[in-house]
Amino acid sequence: MTRSRLLDGALVVVTLVALAVGTVLLVRGPEVPTYAETSQRQEVRAATERFAAGINTYDVTDLDPYVERMTPLMTDDLAEQFKVSTQDLLARFAKAKIVTQGDVDQVAIDSIDGDSAEALAAITVTTEPENVAFGKPRLRWRVSLVREDGDWLVDGFADVAVEDAPAQEGEDQ
């Protein structure tokens, strides 16, 4: 009977140790090396910057190079939508000879996993001629990216509404 109690005790100890290790691994989750996560974040940030700056930098009198420059940064579906909307929308402003320059002020990664990411971008757009108001000078975008063949491509983007700052005491509302 001593031998069976010893065996039972050993099984209980092994079970408790296995349960503890399993719980720790479950709570901690899969370990992704820090360098891999940092590298992915940098890739997503760079892809978002290239896209946000590029799509806001164009000359309405010469749209073909703009489309050629931008389509490799997007998924096939978004690139097709972009081609159609560019010709329809921007070509209307050819007489004004608008030239814009987009500068990315900041990019923040909202979420990221192995094959998709969401980023937020703050962009400042300058327009020439300056007296032509076209769009907003400051943009905030949510950019959705997917990983295809090792590259981060933009799959969609949307304007993020920015609330006006609350009026300070004594200011007109």
120 within 8 A of 141, measured Cβ to Cβ: yes
Q: Which residue has the tokens 């978002």?
A: 48
pLDDT at 86 exceeding the cut of 90: no
pTM: 0.71
Take residue 162 and report the two structure tokens written for it.
Answer: 């920015």
What pLDDT is attached to residue 87?
77
Strand-pair category, 99-112 with 116-128: antiparallel
Determine which helix (DSSP H) or strand (DSSP E) holds 48, and give its type and residue range: helix 34-55
Report which residue type is found at 10: A
What pLDDT is attached to residue 171?
47
CA distance 70 to 67: 5
pLDDT at 166 exceeding the cut of 80: no
pLDDT tens digits for range 99-119 = 899 999 999 999 998 899 999
What pLDDT is attached to residue 22?
73
Q: Between 3.10.450.50, 3.40.50.1000, 3.40.50.300, 3.40.50.720, what CATH number should domain 32-159 receive?
A: 3.10.450.50
| Nearest CA-CA partner of 90 in 52, 68, 69, 61 | 61
What pLDDT is attached to residue 150?
92
What pLDDT is attached to residue 9?
76
120 within 8 A of 160, measured Cβ to Cβ: yes
150 in the Ramachandran plot: left (φ > 0), alpha (ψ -120 to 50) or beta?
Answer: left
Give the number of other Cβ atoms within 10 Å of residue 14's Cβ.
10
Determine which helix (DSSP H) or strand (DSSP E) holds 173, and give its type and residue range: none
